[in-house]
Structure 1
Amino acid sequence: MAKDNNPNPNKFRISPWLVYTSILLIFLFISFVTGSSSLQEPAQLKSSNIDNMLTKGQIKNVIIFNNKDAEIYLSDEGLKDPANKKVAKDIFDRPNKGPHYTTKFGDLKSFQEKLDRAKAEKKLVDYDFKEASNWSDILISLLPVIIIIGVWIFIMRKMSGGGAGGGGQIFNIGKSKARLFDEKNDVKTTFKDVAGLEGAKEEIQEIVEFLKNPEKFTNLGGKIPKGALLVGPPGTGKTLLAKAVAGEAQVPFFSLSGSDFVEMFVGVGASRVRDLFKQAKEKSPAIIFIDEIDAVGRARGKNSMSGGNDERENTLNQLLTEMDGFGSNSNVIVLAATNRADVLDKALMRAGRFDRQIFVDLPDIRERAEIFKVHLAPLKKVEGLDLDFLAKQTPGFSGADIANVCNEAALIAARNNKTAVDKQDFLDAVDRIVGGLEKKNKIITPEEKKAIAIHEAGHATVSWMLEHAAPLIKVTIVPRGQSLGAAWYLPEERQIVRPDQMLDEMCATMGGRAAEKVTFNRISTGALSDLEKVTKQARAMVTIYGLNEKIGNVTYYDSSGQSEYSFSKPYSDETAKVIDTEISALIESQYQRAIQILEENKDKLNQLADILIEKEVIFKDDLEAIFGKRSFDKNLEEVVS
């Protein structure tokens, strides 16, 4: 992943709530300053007292508002009168500058005549008329509205992503959440950093050539592809490959997830799609990478529970329009990644939108060695560590799994106070990841330990006697995770599998339960995972691969994924009975075959179980000492001793 190079990491960021508080304080300050010159509310004065105060010359000034209210400012003589002691000072015990009293009058003409007489007698300095402008009243009337707006903004911010990205601001909720990686500073990944994936890199290299030198293709009349879809299992490096394309092409790279378009507000997803493509066109040539596109690109109309105006469908419609709408000379290419291409909408997959699909498969043994080389580079490892050996021990592992193995091996080495990571640490790491954590302190009775040893010895014995069963690496009765014991095999990496190979694997899997039957003449619940595995294999042989004679060359597998939305089976009830019968017959036949093999090798089975109880872990050499070498291992490479 590219690092987040923030040019101003210590830049001061103003909190929105600080702004809201400041605005509120400003309103309060204005109300105090403009609403009155004192911090004390003026007292009410009765009309009968005004005449007496005017006669004594205690009133200095009068301001009349709206021809019905008046504010009265007292003179120095009036402030000295004990009757006005309460209004002489403010709440801070400072001289009150007024207004000191307020009063209401009925007839403006008669009130004005009183003031004129007092002014003529020089017992009143002046009086004046003003329009009412009480900011405190205005603020109080607006305060509920301000509170409602503030709460609304707070809720909108929370529902639109809590302030993250462009959608964090209520007025930017329709903006794209895509993160822009600058080609000069942020995108450092190139194809050299992507180990393995040779086929995918070769196929995607053409897109890089398009972006680097578009004239080379457009001069011949070719058009730049509008999109490429990276399809493959999780952890195989689809996102890493897309970033390598951006690093190689040296163009702006917009990265976001399919879920970033999803929002609870109507029209937001479509708005973000429009904004994303608008930004990309402004910076073209550019790459838009949508990770996990199945979040927004799922086939339309398959969920009968949703309405016709589904928000996700609107977002997908906008995405379809944008991909097929911008001109071919805009130099904007859309890359997308998913591990569920079968559920994507057909309109999204057609040529002109995603012109090509690039399958990113699990790495083979050679590619796994290259991936190990990349992830081993930062580790302190022993000299002469065999990468080919490590690659052989990790069949079916993705690039992410291999990275996890390397990290786990380093942790195990550090736990054992080693100065370098060695071969055994990697083997322990594979065991830890595949089987789980060892539980050596788990309480197991001697009877249970004997049963577990017989069970695992049965797996080892049957697999040793069958040609197509996976070669054994080791057998252990040390509990790991949820299993009480395990037999470790190194399966052959086949491109196609034949019926005899599948039957041998099923027979070896049933060897555990068969060993319990042969030895104790009773069975237990310990074969649950074995039964689950063989049932899946048998069902696949009958219903998917067409390997059953009674069912014939028929498959009920739907690669388009449409069957998951169907409430009916693609076969009749009579066929369902035949399928169930054939699955049961397949499993039972291999169970009886395993019993026969173990009956013929019962002494060796018990001998192997005794060694297993004593050592808890046995390896391939122990089986060779008991059974001799496998006659069909001549063409197989030696693996682990």
Structure 2
Amino acid sequence: MAKDNKNLNKKPKFNPYWVYGFIIAAFLSIQLFSGGFGGSSTKKINPSEFFTYLQRGEVKNVDIVNNREARVYLNKEAMELEVHKKSKPTNFLPTVNPSPNYTFEFGDLKLFQEKLQSTIDDNNLSVPVSFKTEENYWGSLIMSLLPFILIIGVWIFIMRRMSGGAGGGAGGQIFNIGKSKAKLFDEKTDVKTSFRDVAGLEGAKEEVQEIVDFLKNPDKYTSLGGKIPKGALLVGQPGTGKTLLAKAVAGEAKVPFFSLSGSDFVEMFVGVGASRVRDLFKQAKEKAPAIIFIDEIDAIGRARGKNNFSGSNDERENTLNQLLTEMDGFGTNTNVIVLAATNRADVLDKALMRAGRFDRQIYVDLPDVRERKEIFEVHLRPIKQSEELDIDFLAKQTPGFSGADIANVCNEAALIAARNGKKAVGKQDFLDAVDRIVGGLEKKNKIITKEEKKAIAYHEAGHATVSWMLEHAAPLVKVTIVPRGQSLGAAWYLPEERLIVRPEQMLDEMCAALGGRAAEKVIFNKISTGALSDLEKVTKQARAMVTIYGLSDKVGNLTYYDSSGQSEYGFTKPYSEQTAELIDKEISDIIEEQYQRAVKLLEQHKDKLTLLAEELLEKEVIFKDNLEKIFGKRPFAKPELDIRKKEEKSEETTDENSEE
């Protein structure tokens, strides 16, 4: 009984649908009351019909309302006629005054009065005409309140949408805007990703696995006085597997895992970001030990006080300040680990990067040839492969590819094989997939004149010839004059994977890039706009040699590169005008020297250049074998890396020696 009394005393929750119902009722009321208090259904006629009834003596009286509407009342004899029986009004609400039989609106009042009076006089009628003024008080009141009602209804609707609630009371839902949007993964959630699905990344995987191991077996570390790291920051280029590592942690840790993006803290209302940070850490502490993963943390973690001229970044800075306090503040709980990922570590705030907040910075680099093979093995599991497919070959053909790029190659190869009606994916499908991703889609139907095609052939043959003759240039794989993407021709190389680059290597690469324009000069004694991308690449390389790497004798061992991205010089150059002139001249001299070197090489091998261009015009696509027939074996060919799995220690030693 007490429980029933308690329920009776409980106040009903406010339901936002009441507001929507009130708005609908307001519209209905306007329609209802706009016709007067009688609420009758009166038939509308046109003025010509009225004057016909008037001439026949069927009209009893006429009321003119607000100088624009006429209300017609019929006499008893007319009401008995068949034509007027349907005009009998039906009253929905009780009314004192009788309802009119007909109504109509007229234009000019003076003209209507003159015609009405002349009709009455001509037919010797006695029809009283009265003038009335009516005001719709209820309609005016509702119309004046309607904008406010609409604003309140729309505001409540937006609040409910932003809070994510579809039902229940809006009074509680409105304040959910400050709640965290993190998605929780725990023992009830089936996360299938594990460290087995993360190929390569051995160093990064080892550090992340240690964090997972600490959560599973904390005594192993705390018994020696160690402390759990409070945070780990995954840094790397896009597509290298940072988020995939976090998914593997969620699948392996077996502890509550909160996942969200840095942009989830950003909102149009002041104070919402900081409120969501507090709520996120509150939930994590309640379920501790737990892991929080913030993807793309640079959305809220950018350095404070940089380029903030208008003060518009105050809300983001407040969010960052709250995050700093929660990660390592006065009342921090040590059982919550924060994982974060970014590819813009250079723009993050120094306070966020310090030890005690992010104790570890885990660099996730692009995979090398061995790691690419492991990644291929993971992504080839669901694909039907042909028997002759060599994974070692695929790994060598994709230098500089990230894990996401390799996944895209495997998928694109499967699509190409299916498009060609094959039952298994073969080597050529993967080569076509790499070409499709790197160069774009082939455009065999593009209209090109014979002169343009000849110029393109000699241009690409020039690249191939120069790169074949230089020691440090990347070895050629394939040359084509079939338009692909935005390019009219292309040459594919297999660059050597270097950790450091020497000046002679950069100069050889620049010379090979200028081989296309040099070939046009040697053969046609003319140059064209076809070398735009080559010139862009060469100019960037030369500028990097002079201003970044300090490889110029004239400028010296100086660098104007700021790795933090927070240069103290602002918008000004960190060198004088005289130095700027020296830099520009040095860049121009380096490029011109390599161009003349390419011209000299091509003049020495002009006959072979012509043979290669003619074969390219005939076949449109040529490979390394075609160049060997014309030029002979490349004099600077290097032994290929053996990336087979090492099964025995003796094989490991042999392979390491061969790589060295």
Distance 2:230 2:334 in 1: 10
Deviations 1:443-490 (A, max 9, x none): 000000000000000000000000111010010000001100011000
Alignment of 1:310-459 (within 5 A): 310-325=314-329, 330-459=334-463
Shift of 1:149: 1.3
The aligned counterpart of 2:153 is 150
Distance 1:519 1:202 in 2: 57
For the 8 Å contact 1:544–1:556, the answer to whether it is kept is yes
Deviations 1:284-307 (A, max 9, x none): 111111111111100000013231
CA separation of 1:272 and 1:615: change in aligned 2, threshold 3 A: same
For the 8 Å contact 2:16–2:153, the answer to whether it is kept is no
3-state SS in 1 of match to 2:567 = helix
CA separation of 1:326 and 1:360: change in aligned 2, threshold 3 A: farther
The aligned counterpart of 2:213 is 209
Shift of 1:24: 6.0
The aligned counterpart of 1:520 is 524
CA separation of 1:304 and 1:329: change in aligned 2, threshold 3 A: closer
For the 8 Å contact 2:388–2:426, the answer to whether it is kept is no
The aligned counterpart of 1:12 is none
CA separation of 1:488 and 1:165: change in aligned 2, threshold 3 A: farther
Shift of 1:154: 3.3
For the 8 Å contact 1:284–1:330, the answer to whether it is kept is no
For 1:151, the aligned partner's letter is V
For the 8 Å contact 1:457–1:605, the answer to whether it is kept is yes
Shift of 1:147: 3.0
3-state SS in 2 of match to 1:516 = helix
Shift of 1:216: 2.5
1:501 aligns with 2:513: no
Distance 2:433 2:611 in 1: 30
Shift of 1:219: 3.0
Shift of 1:635: 2.8
3-state SS in 1 of match to 2:178 = coil
Shift of 1:210: 1.7
For the 8 Å contact 2:285–2:333, the answer to whether it is kept is no
3-state SS in 1 of match to 2:309 = coil
3-state SS in 2 of match to 1:563 = coil
Aligned length: 539
For 1:496, the aligned partner's letter is I
Larger mean CA deviation between 455-464 and 207-216 belongs to 207-216
Alignment of 1:285-296 (within 5 A): 285-296=289-300
For 1:518, the aligned partner's letter is V
Distance 1:558 1:465 in 2: 36
For the 8 Å contact 1:223–1:328, the answer to whether it is kept is no
Alignment of 1:224-623 (within 5 A): 224-307=228-311, 310-325=314-329, 330-563=334-567, 566-623=570-627
3-state SS in 2 of match to 1:287 = strand
Shift of 1:153: 2.1
Shift of 1:204: 1.5
Shift of 1:265: 1.2
CA separation of 1:219 and 1:375: change in aligned 2, threshold 3 A: same
Shift of 1:169: 5.2
CA separation of 1:301 and 1:165: change in aligned 2, threshold 3 A: farther
Shift of 1:425: 0.3
RMSD (Å) for aligned C-alpha atoms? 3.4
For the 8 Å contact 1:183–1:246, the answer to whether it is kept is no
Distance 2:166 2:447 in 1: 50
Distance 1:165 1:353 in 2: 39
For 1:620, the aligned partner's letter is K
Shift of 1:174: 1.0
Shift of 1:281: 1.0
Distance 1:144 1:617 in 2: 70
For the 8 Å contact 2:369–2:395, the answer to whether it is kept is yes
Shift of 1:280: 1.0
CA separation of 1:569 and 1:309: change in aligned 2, threshold 3 A: closer
For the 8 Å contact 2:160–2:166, the answer to whether it is kept is no
Distance 1:320 1:594 in 2: 56
For the 8 Å contact 1:183–1:253, the answer to whether it is kept is no
Distance 2:405 2:490 in 1: 20
Shift of 1:221: 2.5
Distance 1:281 1:142 in 2: 48
Shift of 1:566: 1.2
For the 8 Å contact 2:230–2:334, the answer to whether it is kept is no
Distance 1:592 1:140 in 2: 83
For 1:483, the aligned partner's letter is S
Distance 1:587 1:439 in 2: 32
For the 8 Å contact 1:40–1:91, the answer to whether it is kept is no
Listed as ranges, the gaps of 5+ residues in structure 1 are 1-15, 31-38, 43-89, 102-134
Larger mean CA deviation between 221-230 and 557-566 belongs to 557-566
For the 8 Å contact 1:542–1:579, the answer to whether it is kept is yes
For the 8 Å contact 1:372–1:387, the answer to whether it is kept is yes
Deviations 1:365-421 (A, max 9, x none): 111111111111111111242111101110000010001101111111111111111
CA separation of 1:22 and 1:617: change in aligned 2, threshold 3 A: same
For the 8 Å contact 2:466–2:512, the answer to whether it is kept is yes
Distance 2:543 2:166 in 1: 48
The aligned counterpart of 1:200 is 204
Deviations 1:195-247 (A, max 9, x none): 11101001112111121122322333222111100000000010110111121
CA separation of 1:599 and 1:141: change in aligned 2, threshold 3 A: closer
Shift of 1:40: 6.2
For 2:156, the aligned partner's letter is I
Deviations 1:244-289 (A, max 9, x none): 1121111111111111111121111111111111111111111111
For 1:252, the aligned partner's letter is P
Distance 1:389 1:360 in 2: 24
3-state SS in 2 of match to 1:488 = strand
Deviations 1:302-337 (A, max 9, x none): 013231871111111111111113756541111100
